[in-house]
Amino acid sequence: MTSTAQPPPSGARAAHPEHLGHVIFIAAAAAMGGFLFGYDSAVINGAVEAIRDRYDIGSAALAQVIAIALIGCAIGAATAGRIADRIGRIRCMQISAVLFTVSAVGSALPFALYDLAFWRVIGGFAIGMASVIGPAYIAEVAPAAYRGRLGSFQQAAIVIGIAISQLVNWGILNAAGGDQRGEIMGLEAWQVMLGVMVIPAVLYGLLSFAIPESPRFLISAGKDERAREVLREVEGDNLDLDARVAEIEHAMKSEHKSVFKDLLGGTFFFKPIVWVGIGLSVFQQFVGINVAFYYSSTLWQSVGVDPSESFFYSFTTSIINIVGTVIAMIFVDRIGRKPLALIGSVGMVIGLGLEAWAFSFDLVDGKLPATQGWVALIAAHVFVLFFALSWGVVVWVFLGEMFPNRIRAAALGVAASAQWIANWAITASFPSLADWNLSLTYVIYTVFAALSIPFVLKFVKETKGKTLEEMG
């Protein structure tokens, strides 16, 4: 018979560390993986047209080179947890930093198209690892009283990484005289854009040596004394360390390791709640958000915007993304996840619909008419703002809260995998769809944004104010 005795309370829930600044530093250092996640995801935006021109490839082949990184992302995300459980969270961060560095150098110095694609897969693997390890490490190290705020560092770092990559790309393009293939330091401008990521990648690696291993991993590895030192460092001197270690050990022993077969059941293979999670992930991507980050420069240039201006608009879109994310972080616990998702869906329908209307007009001298051009530009920013203040954050909150404890880990893995696959589908299809009909492409995204409204109303339950145990 299994014992259900609870360990004595340690006081961790009320712990307020004396050196909160150091705890913030630890969380920020771990969130550098999120910065690289955002940076690497969006930096390719500045190289798309140059890669098309240098290797003389069509839209379909170009899309595969851009989207192939997402295959690495899926593999990295799927394996990171197991790797971290074997060798530790810090070692996993260091591997990710090395892969980011290698990918940046390889992408900047490709011999041919095929090895550029290979280096993008390597970078994708690092993104996938960073997307899992950063939040997991912060959750395990952060004191309970500050976990929510410190956990938000990861999402904030991602959107900042996206913005910085667009700003750097814009600066490099201007230094190259507005030509993506212009020469800088003996390389073409787009190569420098991809290579600059070496700097934050190395910084991430160095920071990983300055932060402690997760107490949870240390205890699982039998290093209880070192775990006590870390707990004292991050949760304060007033903590009952023996009781805290006992709490962690008890939680680890009582955890149910969910597996894939736990998700099966219901009418359509998976349990209904799993399908809701998959639906949230798919709708988040099928509104076309990553077109704004992977292809925005190409998009604006296709309707006659000057390359330098198109890079600047990509940067301003990224700033709007940060603003929207901050709004979401402020209101997600105040007004709830479901209302925020519905507000975002309505705003996205308006923004995407206006873009579809603007792109339906014929180009005049290679440009959209002035009115339609301004409508398209403003509508694109409106779309990104409403996505960021809603679905960009809310979906991840829902996925972390909505599943019953006994299936949470496995269900989250399936939902995240669906998100990477949907991301790949949109990223790989956009260049060909845009060549076919740019306006109708945006009509498709508008339809998915509109369909997300009845989906949320009918199938998604509010999780605000509920404990994880109340989810079933």
pLDDT(392) > 50: yes
What are residue 404's phi and psi, to 5 degrees?
Answer: -60, 150
The helix/strand/coil state of 213 is coil
97/220: higher pLDDT = 97
pLDDT digits (tens, 9 = 90+) for 398-449: 877 777 767 776 777 788 788 888 988 998 898 889 889 999 999 999 999 9
pLDDT of residue 471: 55
The confidence band for 465, taking pLDDT boundaries of 50, 70 and 90, is: low
Q: Which pLDDT does position 2 carry in this prediction? A: 43
Q: Read off the pLDDT of residues 151-170 as tens digits, 9 standing for 90 and up.
A: 778 878 888 998 899 899 98
Q: Per-residue pLDDT for 472 more than 60? A: no
Would you say 150 and 142 are in contact if contact means Cβ atoms under 8 Å apart? yes
Provide the Cα torsion 24, 25, 29, 34; round to 10°: 30
DSSP string, 270-296: B-HHHHHHHHHHHHHHHT-TTHHHHSH
**H-helix segments, 209-240:** 215-220, 224-235
Residue with the larger pLDDT of the pair 144 and 298: 298
Q: Is residue 362 over pLDDT 90?
A: no
